[in-house]
Chain A
Amino acid sequence: MFCRLALIFSFLLIPVTQGLAQIPMGEASTAKEGLDIGVSTNEIAITSDFRGADLTVFGAMTNADDLLLAIGNYDIIVTLEGPRDYATVRKKERIFGVWVNTDSMIFEQVPESYSIASTRQLDDPTQLPPINTAGVGIEHLALNPIGYIRDVGELSDFREAYRRLKLAGGLYQKEASGVRFVSSSLFRASLRLPANVPDGVHIVRAYLFKSGTLLTQREIPLRVVKTGLEQAITDTAHNQPFAYGLLCVLIALVTGWGASIVFRKD
Chain B
Amino acid sequence: MWIRHLHALFTRHVRHFPTTSSDKREIACRTRLFCFALSGLTVTIYLPIAELSVNIFIILGMGAAVGFLSGMFGVGGGFLITPLLIFYNIPPVVAVATGANQVVASSVSGAITHFRRGTLDMKLGTVLLVGGLVGATVGVWIFSWLRSIGQLDLFISLLYVVLLTTIGLLMLQESLRAMRKAKLNQPLPLKRPGQHNWVHRLPLKMRFKKSKIYLSAIPVVTLGFLIGILTSIMGVGGGFIMVPAMIYLLRIPTNVVVGTSLFQIIFVTAYTTMVQAATNYSVDIVLAFILMVAGVIGAQYGVRVGQKLRGEQLRALLALLVLAVGIRLAIGLFIRPQDLYSVAVGGIGY
Q: For residue A93, which residues in chain B have a CB less than 8 angstroms away from its CB?
A: 340
B286 touches A260 (CB 8 A): no
Q: A242-B277, A247-B285 are in contact. Are A146 and B109 (CB under 8 A)?
A: no
Contact of B285 (CB < 8 Å), options: A112, A251, A253: A251
Contact of B296 (CB < 8 Å), options: A107, A166, A256: A256
B346 touches A88 (CB 8 A): yes
Q: Which residue of A lies closest to B343 (CB)?
A: A165
Main secondary structure of the interface of B (DSSP, over half): helix
Asked if B10 is at the interface of the complex by the 8 Å CB criterion, the answer is no
| Closest CB in chain B relative to A228 CB, distance in Å | 10
A252 touches B52 (CB 8 A): no
B48 touches A233 (CB 8 A): yes
State the interface size on chain A (CB cutoff 8 A): 65
Q: Which of B178-186, B241-249, B331-339 sits within the interface? A: B331-339
> Within the assembled complex, what's the spacing in Å between the Cα atoms of A161 and B343?
9
| Closest CB in chain B relative to A98 CB, distance in Å | 5
> Within the assembled complex, what's the spacing in Å between the Cα atoms of A169 and B51?
14
Q: For residue B260, which residues in chain A have a CB less than 8 angstroms away from its CB?
A: none
> Within the assembled complex, what's the spacing in Å between the Cα atoms of A109 and B346?
9
Q: Which residue of A lies closest to B155 (CB)?
A: A100
Q: A104-B150, A257-B112 are in contact. Are A237 and B346 (CB under 8 A)?
A: no
> Within the assembled complex, what's the spacing in Å between the Cα atoms of A112 and B334?
30
Contact of A246 (CB < 8 Å), options: B274, B279, B334, B344: B274
Contact of B276 (CB < 8 Å), options: A86, A147, A245, A258: A245
Interface string of A234-266 (1 = CB under 8 A from B): 100110011011111101110111111001000
B104 touches A252 (CB 8 A): yes
Q: A85-B345, A251-B285, A255-B293 are in contact. Are A237 and B49 (CB under 8 A)?
A: yes
Asked if B41 is at the interface of the complex by the 8 Å CB criterion, the answer is no
Q: For residue B51, which residues in chain A have a CB less than 8 angstroms away from its CB?
A: 196, 198
A89 touches B343 (CB 8 A): yes
Q: Which residue of B lies closest to A104 (CB)?
A: B150
A255 touches B105 (CB 8 A): yes
B46 touches A49 (CB 8 A): yes
> Within the assembled complex, what's the spacing in Å between the Cα atoms of A226 and B46?
10
> Within the assembled complex, what's the spacing in Å between the Cα atoms of A99 and B45?
33
Q: Which residue of B lies closest to A251 (CB)?
A: B289
Asked if B44 is at the interface of the complex by the 8 Å CB criterion, the answer is yes
| Closest CB in chain B relative to A242 CB, distance in Å | 6
- Sorted nearest first, the 7 A-B pairs with minimum C-beta distance are A256-B108, A86-B347, A245-B277, A161-B341, A259-B296, A252-B104, A106-B347
Chain A residues within CB distance 8 Å of chain B: 46-51, 85-94, 97-101, 104, 106-108, 112, 146-147, 158, 161-162, 164-166, 168-169, 195-196, 198, 226, 229-231, 233-234, 237-238, 241-242, 244-249, 251-253, 255-260, 263
